[in-house]
Amino acid sequence: MAKYLLLKHYRGAPAAVNDVPMEQWTPEEVSAHVRYMREFAARLEATGEFVDGQALAPEGTFVRYDGEGRPPVTDGPFAETKDLIAGWMVIDVDSYERAVELAGELSAAPGAGGKPIHEWLELRPFYAAPPTITE
Amino acid sequence: MDEALVRSLTPSVLGILVRRGADFAAAEDAVQDALVEAVRTWPADPPRDPKGWLVAVAWRRFLDATRADTARRRREDSLDGEPAPGPAPGVDDTLQLYFLCAHPSLTPSSAVALTLRAVGGLTTGQIARAYLVPEATMAQRISRAKRTVSGVRFDRPGDVATVLRVLYLVFNEGYSGDVDLAAEAIRLTRQLAAAIDHPEPAGLLALMLLHHARRAARTAPDGSLVPLAEQDRGRWDTGAIAEGVAILQAALARDRLGEFQAQAAIAALHADAPTAEETDWVQVVEWYDELVRLTGSPVVRLNRAVAVGEADGPRAGLAALAALDDSLPRYAAVAAHLHERDGDLATAARLYVEAAHKAPNLAERAHLTRQAARLNGRSGR
């Protein structure tokens, strides 16, 4: 009963083992990949472990407060940004071990040649509510 | 319609159906149908005997559903052979549900969800909101749990320890829905302790009451955590403390010590002290020794080191700490506290920062960061 965020990166994560950019896959390979992701989410819904998930567009803007009465400052997008998040999924599982197991499965999504991408996924625990008993 | 009444009747109605031979998952569906029917008809036409009404309607629904399923013809035949239902002590039926919902084949989160639904009478939506997951997710979790225990027969008493662990998990969850899970855990544990002749459910009930009694004083109005030593003891619920202590004493008198009784004894020693300074730390350490003997848990040893630090001074606490693995949760926080009391402020500040990075929740992180800031001399200036 702990929530984890699975982060999928466009870039910033270490290179995947099967590291072929998606635009160089065949259309069938792309479809297979998308289907795998969808089925993975559906499976987690069925096990009662799915909380939420979304894909993110690569374009982002940085926004900053610029003082009283002035509009916020915006900047970017920064093409040189090292880390770009492609999407995320939140799961609610019984243990860290289970979270790692699921992230491993997600990382096995098929890519070029129908082989698993072996991409790196970032796994981050959510802060929990303070327990009723601490002392 | 009295929702609390319906909620309290749900488990015994379900228990009666299951005792009559209904499959658990099918019985649960039938009881939910009966509840929906009650919501619809009771306001205009309240029954004289709500429980009897629910049993009758749920049983009819169950039979209808079973009959409709021709593939289950054989089961129906065997049902006809079941003895006619008679009056039975409701509490025993509920007790069976406790054991079923804590069945070892379930994962902890499934056991918790099923207990809240089948024994607590909560709706799937209420449980989902309390755990901050979508209702569809919680519905799946519950229906999987129901399927898992569906074939289990009620022919032998289950493991009390497993049931208690599930209730303890419920109590320890933060809550965020319209149901206070701590209060719900107390209600269910109270029911269990009344139904079962064993001092440990009483020990767990005492433990919950003693911690719940301090709840109002545990957080500041801004939501930040107030440590035990700094809590305004005038805000503790003395009624709940007195009840918890009385329940604990009766349990201890039966001379079958268990870990929940020992934990409750420690909580009672804290609750008993008029000020933090007057806490009987020597006795607290003795109870921790019992707990170490009962559980062998490294987390208990860590808490014991804190108590030793209070009873015999920070050096003794640090010595006790030195024997433990520094990867334990909250190890750095305990070490920071002991080093500060020992006067080594630089080490303490560094350890508070480390502890803040490892804190499992935001309230604790903020608290530990404030401790580090205080020692670094920038707080409040």
Looking at residue A36, which CATH number applies to its domain? 3.30.70.1060
Residues 6+ apart with CB under 8 A from A97: none
* B217-237 average pLDDT score: 92
Structural domain harbouring A42:
2-61+76-125
Residue A99 CA, distance from chain mean position: 13
pLDDT at B79: 55
State what percent of residues in chain A have pLDDT above 70.
Answer: 94
- Residue pair B361/A130 in contact (Cβ under 8 Å)? The answer is yes
Is A132 a domain residue?
Answer: no
Say which range, A12-26, A38-52, B300-314, has the weakest mean pLDDT: A12-26
Q: Model confidence at B232, in pLDDT bands (50, 70, 90)?
A: very high
* B202-207 average pLDDT score: 98
| CB contacts, 8 Å: B182 with chain A | 132
Q: Is the Cβ of A132 closer than 8 Å to some Cβ of chain B? A: yes
CA distances from B366 to B31, B274, B302, B336, B356 (A): 45, 28, 22, 15, 7
Residues 6+ apart with CB under 8 A from B276: B228, B229, B230
Is 0.85 exceeded by the ipTM? no
Q: Model confidence at B372, in pLDDT bands (50, 70, 90)?
A: very high
Q: Per residue in B236-264, pLDDT tens?
A: 999 999 999 999 999 999 999 999 999 99
pTM: 0.86
Q: Determine if residue A86 is left, alpha or beta; phi over 0 gives left, psi from -120 to 50 gives alpha, anything else beta.
A: alpha
pLDDT tops 60 at residue B78: no
CA distances from A101 to A108, B258, B281 (A): 11, 35, 44
Is A131 a domain residue?
Answer: no
pLDDT tops 90 at residue B173: no
Return the residue in B105, B106, B107 with the most chain A beta carbons within 10 A, the one to mutate for interface testing. B107
pLDDT at A135: 61
Strand order of the β-sheet with A121-125 is A50-55, A84-93, A2-11, A121-125
Is A68 a domain residue?
Answer: no
Is A40 a domain residue?
Answer: yes
Residues 6+ apart with CB under 8 A from B66: B26, B72, B75, B76, B79
Q: Model confidence at B265, in pLDDT bands (50, 70, 90)?
A: very high
* B192-200 average pLDDT score: 92
The total of structural domains in chain A comes to 1
Structural Rg of chain A based on CA atoms: 18
DSSP helix, strand, coil percent of chain A (3-state; round to 5): 30, 30, 40
Higher-confidence residue: A59 or B302? B302
CA distances from B94 to A88, A95, B31 (A): 42, 30, 14
| CB contacts, 8 Å: B364 with chain A | 130, 134
Is A70 a domain residue?
Answer: no
pLDDT at B330: 94
pLDDT at A105: 95
Instruction: Using alpha carbons, select from B151, B93, B146 the residue that is nearest to residue B124.
Output: B146
| CB contacts, 8 Å: B135 with chain A | none
pLDDT at B21: 84
Structural Rg of chain B based on CA atoms: 24
pLDDT tops 60 at residue B379: no
pLDDT at A11: 80
CA distances from B378 to A114, B226, B349, B371, B373 (A): 58, 20, 12, 11, 6
Residues B284, B262: Cα–Cα separation, whole Å: 10
pLDDT tops 70 at residue B309: yes
- Per DSSP, the three-state class of A9 is strand
Say which range, A79-88, B41-50, B257-266, B291-300, has the weakest mean pLDDT: A79-88
CA distance A98 to chain B (A): 12
DSSP class per residue in B210-276: HHHTTHHHHB-TTS-B--GGGS-GGGS-HHHHHHHHHHHHHHHTTT---HHHHHHHHHHHHHH-SSG
Is A134 a domain residue?
Answer: no
- Residue pair B20/B59 in contact (Cβ under 8 Å)? The answer is yes
Residue found under tokens 């062998």: B296
- Helix axis angle, B160-172 relative to B199-212, nearest 10°? 10
Q: Per residue in B116-147, pLDDT tens?
A: 999 998 999 999 999 999 999 999 999 999 99
Is A135 a domain residue?
Answer: no
pLDDT tops 70 at residue B155: no
* A44-50 average pLDDT score: 94
Is A34 a domain residue?
Answer: yes
- Residue pair B6/B121 in contact (Cβ under 8 Å)? The answer is yes
pLDDT tops 70 at residue B112: yes
State what percent of residues in chain B have pLDDT above 70.
Answer: 91
Residues 6+ apart with CB under 8 A from B131: A1, A92, B113, B138, B173, B177
- Torsion angle of C-alpha atoms B336, B340, B345, B349, degrees rounded to 10: 30
State whether A50 and B137 contact (CB < 8 Å).
yes
Q: Model confidence at B199, in pLDDT bands (50, 70, 90)?
A: very high
Annotated domain spans of chain B: 1-91, 280-328, 332-381
pLDDT at A85: 87
* B44-65 average pLDDT score: 92
| CB contacts, 8 Å: A50 with chain B | 134, 137
Return the residue in A91, A92, A124, A135 with the most chain B beta carbons within 10 A, the one to mutate for interface testing. A135
State whether B228 and A48 contact (CB < 8 Å).
no
Instruction: Using alpha carbons, select from B106, B77, B83, B100 the residue that is nearest to residue B14.
Output: B100
Instruction: Using alpha carbons, select from B251, B330, B337 the residue that is nearest to residue B297.
Output: B330
Q: Model confidence at B74, in pLDDT bands (50, 70, 90)?
A: low
pLDDT at B3: 78
pLDDT at A81: 62
